[in-house]
């Protein structure tokens, strides 16, 4: 078993020092595509946080009570993806019914998230790191918050960058990737402070 | 038996998830019976809620125009919604002008019927039917245009010349799912039991490839219609019709309709553009019409005439020919000139420009723009 890291430590680590986006570079496609606009970034960040928290918890239960006892861990990729896709689908239907306003701000991003690799990545990390349920929950929630924070930060920086004289060859994705690199440096710089594994 | 555990377990997990989705769908999508009030209560439909408006209406035999079949990619199924059903979805806004958004015009394929709603649609749409037609004949009028005649199998169609129908193209080859494409009717309104369309082969086009390479005489095909705003105005204004290729269709219908309904004295100029003689068709029919309609002038023009094809008519782009005729042959004194256009969006824009330059205002120019 892994050493019992306090869930709060995991929460802070996954938001800041081990940010799933900036240290593992997971969930980049939607990150780069949506980060041009602050409002959409906010909606997408919220959606990722909600979906990550829920799916990582369900996947933990599926793993603990089905995959491990039946010795089916080699199939975890397929099973995790099926669980994520189904959960997102149900979430979309429920939000559509319960709150049209929330559906407008969050629901339309849900289909985008099904294929977001950060979601699958988090499920695999919680397995590799042998987290218990509470740890898994805080890890999922923290990773979502970290992703949300990163996309908001990038959207804000991009706003400034649009007014800066960017060399022709670097405009668009080029300068965005360099910006993300700098952000990653800033986050990773503190990685010694908190231990997650 | 241990090798069965893996497929069974994974099958079971997927099955449970699918069942959960079905259950959630059953609970959240159950809106009970709702009422759709159309045009201020002229028609009321009691329907099951939870489906997109377009689908709900078509299951009640009310057909809004739609070229993409409800995928939200053509923007044709616009209708005005009178009740509050929430803000516009991001999937609708690209197809709506700011004025339309202010008027709460929505795309019927994107909005779900969740509660009682009221909508406004053009009166004409009550006339729209789905015909289960049979192909009577397919004729090659040029090397790339086919004239297709459908028999409506006992149903009748009521329409004015200029309207179009949507051909329902069934899935074929690599095209999965059925598709709808709009074609102007070239048959006369007096012929209520048949519909004729002209289909020009567009390389890679879903409907045109189907009609040209797969459709056979005797085959069944569904048509939905009539749709469209394009029709001639009553009165004695001078009609300037401009078409190219299969854009011939609505004018063929209109001219024969004028002949049949006794509208024989109206001044009509019909400019028909083609590349070379092998793209030219119906020449004799049009010349024949010229003798029967005293004020009808047919002006065919070739843009790329070839040596030795014996063409002695006008040459050049149809817009240039139109410009020359407007300046030299057609007098506007004491008359209103009206433009009637049928062709590609590029041709329509160019004709609009030439007509505007010659003093024909935009509200006197009529066309249906097919994307």
Domain that holds residue A139: 7-188
**Helical pair A7-15 and A133-161, crossing angle rounded to 10 deg:** 20
Task: Name the DSSP class of A5.
Answer: -
Could you tell me the pTM of the whole model? 0.64
Min Cα distance B10 → chain A (Å) is 7
B9 at the A interface (CB within 8 A)?
A: yes
Low-confidence stretches of chain B (pLDDT beneath 70): 370-371
Same domain, B210 and B157: yes
Q: Which of A78, A82, A93 sits opposite B24 (nearest CB)?
A: A93
Number of domains making up chain B: 3
Residue of B4, B6, B10, B31 to mutate, interface with A, max A Cβ within 10 Å: B10
**Contacting residues of A for B83, CB less than 8 Å apart:** none
Q: Is residue B362 part of a domain?
A: yes
- The two most distant CA atoms of chain B are separated, in Å, by 95
What residue of A is the nearest CA neighbor of B2?
A: A70
Residue ending a domain, among B91, B123, B155, is B123
Same domain, B55 and B96: yes
Domain that holds residue B69: 33-123
Q: Is residue B12 part of a domain?
A: no
Pairing of strands B365-366, B220-227: unpaired
Computed on alpha carbons and rounded to an integer, the radius of gyration of chain A in Å comes to 17
Distance CA B26, CA B20 (A): 10
pLDDT at position A54 is 94
Q: Is residue A80 part of a domain?
A: yes
Task: Output B28-36 pairs: Cβ under 8 A, ≥24 positions apart.
Answer: B28/A93, B28/A94, B28/A96, B28/A97, B28/A98, B29/A93, B29/A97, B31/B113, B31/B114, B31/B115, B34/B113, B34/B114, B34/B115, B34/B116, B34/B117, B35/B116, B36/B113, B36/B116, B36/B117, B36/B118, B36/B119
CB B354 within 8 A of CB B323: yes
Distance CA A110, CA A30 (A): 11
Q: Is residue A140 part of a domain?
A: yes
Same domain, B37 and B116: yes
* Binding-site residues on chain A for chain B (CB distance < 8 A): 62, 66, 70, 72, 75, 78-79, 82-83, 86, 89-90, 93-94, 96-98, 100-101, 104, 108
Distance CA B181, CA A142 (A): 50
Compute how many other C-beta atoms are within 10 angstroms of the C-beta atom of residue A46. 16
CATH of residue B38: 3.10.20.30
Judged by DSSP in three states, A114 sits in coil
pLDDT at position B371 is 46
Min Cα distance B370 → chain A (Å) is 29
Q: Is residue A122 part of a domain?
A: yes
**Contacting residues of B for A86, CB less than 8 Å apart:** 17-18, 20-21
Q: How far apart are the first and last CA of chain B?
A: 59
| Two structure tokens written together for A99 | 């709150």
Same domain, B144 and B115: no
> Under an 8 A CB cutoff, do B89 and A75 touch?
no
Q: Which one, of A11, A6, A1, A37, lies nearest residue A143 by Cα?
A: A11
Min Cα distance B21 → chain A (Å) is 6
Q: Is residue A43 part of a domain?
A: yes
> Under an 8 A CB cutoff, do B10 and A66 touch?
no
Pairing of strands B117-120, B129-140: unpaired
| Two structure tokens written together for A5 | 């890291």
Low-confidence stretches of chain A (pLDDT beneath 70): 1-3, 107-108, 195-197
> Under an 8 A CB cutoff, do B24 and A90 touch?
yes
Pairing of strands B238-244, B268-274: parallel
Q: Is residue A194 part of a domain?
A: no
B4 at the A interface (CB within 8 A)?
A: no
Distance CA B240, CA B319 (A): 12
Q: Is residue A197 part of a domain?
A: no
**Contacting residues of B for A83, CB less than 8 Å apart:** 13, 17
What residue of B is the nearest CA neighbor of A98?
A: B28
B218 at the A interface (CB within 8 A)?
A: no
Same domain, B245 and B361: yes
Q: What is the pLDDT of residues B261-286, one digit of tens each?
A: 988 888 999 999 998 888 899 989 99
Q: Is residue B64 part of a domain?
A: yes
**Contacting residues of B for A104, CB less than 8 Å apart:** 86-87, 89
Same domain, B251 and B298: yes
CATH of residue B298: 3.40.50.80
B46 at the A interface (CB within 8 A)?
A: no
CATH of residue B165: 2.40.30.10
Q: Which one, of B269, B252, B70, B260, lies nearest residue B177 by Cα?
A: B70
CA distances from B313 to A45, A116, B289, B316 (A): 66, 63, 18, 10
Q: Is residue B233 part of a domain?
A: no
Same domain, B275 and B347: yes
Same domain, B146 and B197: yes
CB B302 within 8 A of CB B276: yes
Q: Is residue B26 part of a domain?
A: no
Q: Which one, of A20, A52, A45, A47, lies nearest residue A151 by Cα?
A: A45
**Contacting residues of A for B91, CB less than 8 Å apart:** 108
> Residue B87 — left, alpha, or beta (φ > 0 → left; ψ -120 to 50 → alpha)?
beta
Contacts of A39 (CB under 8 A, 6+ apart): none
> Under an 8 A CB cutoff, do A108 and B89 touch?
yes
Q: Is residue A2 part of a domain?
A: no
> Under an 8 A CB cutoff, do A82 and B13 touch?
yes
Number of domains making up chain A: 1
Number of H helices, E strands in chain A: 9, 0
Compute how many other C-beta atoms are within 10 angstroms of the C-beta atom of residue A131. 23
Q: Is residue B21 part of a domain?
A: no
B315 at the A interface (CB within 8 A)?
A: no
The number of angstroms, rounded, from the C-alpha of A22 to the middle of its chain's C-alpha atoms is 10
């Amino acid at each position: 078993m892994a050493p019992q890291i306090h869930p709060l430590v995991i929460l802070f680590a996954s938001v800041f020092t081990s940010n799933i986006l900036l240290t593992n570079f997971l969930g980049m496609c939607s990150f780069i595509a949506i980060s041009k606009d602050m409002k959409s970034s906010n909606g997408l960040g919220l959606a990722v946080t909600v979906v990550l928290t829920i799916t990582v918890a369900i996947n933990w239960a599926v793993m603990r009570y089905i995959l491990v006892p039946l010795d089916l861990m080699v199939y975890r990729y397929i099973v995790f993806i099926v669980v994520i896709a189904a959960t997102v689908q149900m979430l979309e239907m429920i939000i559509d019914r319960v709150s049209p306003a929330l559906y407008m701000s969050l629901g339309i991003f849900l289909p985008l998230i099904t294929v977001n690799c950060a979601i699958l990545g988090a499920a695999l990390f919680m397995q590799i790191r042998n987290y218990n349920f509470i740890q898994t929950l805080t890890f999922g929630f923290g990773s979502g918050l970290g992703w949300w924070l990163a996309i908001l930060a990038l959207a804000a920086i991009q706003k400034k960058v649009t007014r800066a004289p960017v060399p022709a060859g670097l405009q668009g994705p080029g300068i965005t990737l360099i910006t993300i690199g700098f952000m990653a440096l800033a986050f990773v710089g503190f990685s010694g402070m908190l231990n997650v594994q | 038996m241990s090798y069965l555990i893996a497929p069974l377990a994974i099958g079971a997990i997927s099955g449970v998830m699918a069942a959960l989705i079905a259950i959630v769908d059953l609970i959240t999508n159950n809106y009970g019976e709702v009422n759709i009030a159309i045009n201020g209560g002229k028609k009321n439909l009691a329907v099951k809620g939870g489906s997109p408006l377009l689908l709900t209406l078509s299951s009640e035999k009310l057909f809004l125009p739609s070229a993409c079949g409800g995928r939200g990619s053509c923007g044709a199924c616009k209708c005005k919604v009178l009740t509050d059903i929430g803000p516009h979805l991001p999937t609708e806004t690209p197809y709506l002008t700011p004025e339309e958004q202010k008027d709460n015009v929505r795309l019927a394929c994107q909005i779900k019927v969740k509660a009682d709603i009221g909508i406004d649609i053009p009166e004409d749409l009550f006339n729209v039917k789905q015909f289960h037609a049979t192909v009577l004949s397919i004729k090659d009028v040029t090397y790339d245009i086919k004239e297709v005649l459908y028999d409506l199998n006992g149903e009748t169609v009521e329409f004015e010349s200029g309207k179009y129908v949507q051909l329902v193209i069934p899935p074929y080859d690599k095209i999965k799912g059925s598709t709808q494409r709009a074609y102007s009717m070239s048959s006369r309104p007096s012929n209520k039991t048949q519909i004729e369309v002209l289909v020009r082969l567009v390389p890679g086009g879903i409907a045109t490839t189907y009609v040209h390479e797969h459709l056979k005489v005797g085959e069944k095909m569904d048509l939905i219609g009539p749709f469209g705003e394009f029709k001639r105005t009553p009165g004695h204004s001078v009609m300037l019709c401009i078409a190219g290729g299969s854009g011939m269709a609505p004018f063929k219908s209109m001219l024969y309709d004028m002949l049949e309904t006794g509208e024989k004295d109206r001044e009509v100029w019909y400019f028909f553009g083609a590349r070379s003689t092998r793209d030219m068709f119906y020449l004799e029919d049009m010349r024949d019409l010229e003798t029967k309609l005293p004020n009808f002038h047919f002006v065919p023009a070739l843009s790329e005439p070839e040596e030795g094809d014996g063409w002695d008519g006008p040459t050049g782009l149809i817009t240039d020919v139109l410009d020359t005729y407007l300046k030299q042959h057609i007098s506007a004194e004491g008359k209103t000139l009206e433009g009637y256009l049928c062709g590609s969006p590029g041709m329509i824009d160019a004709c609009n420009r030439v007509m505007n330059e010659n003093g024909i205002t935009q509200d006197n120019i009529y066309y249906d723009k097919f994307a």
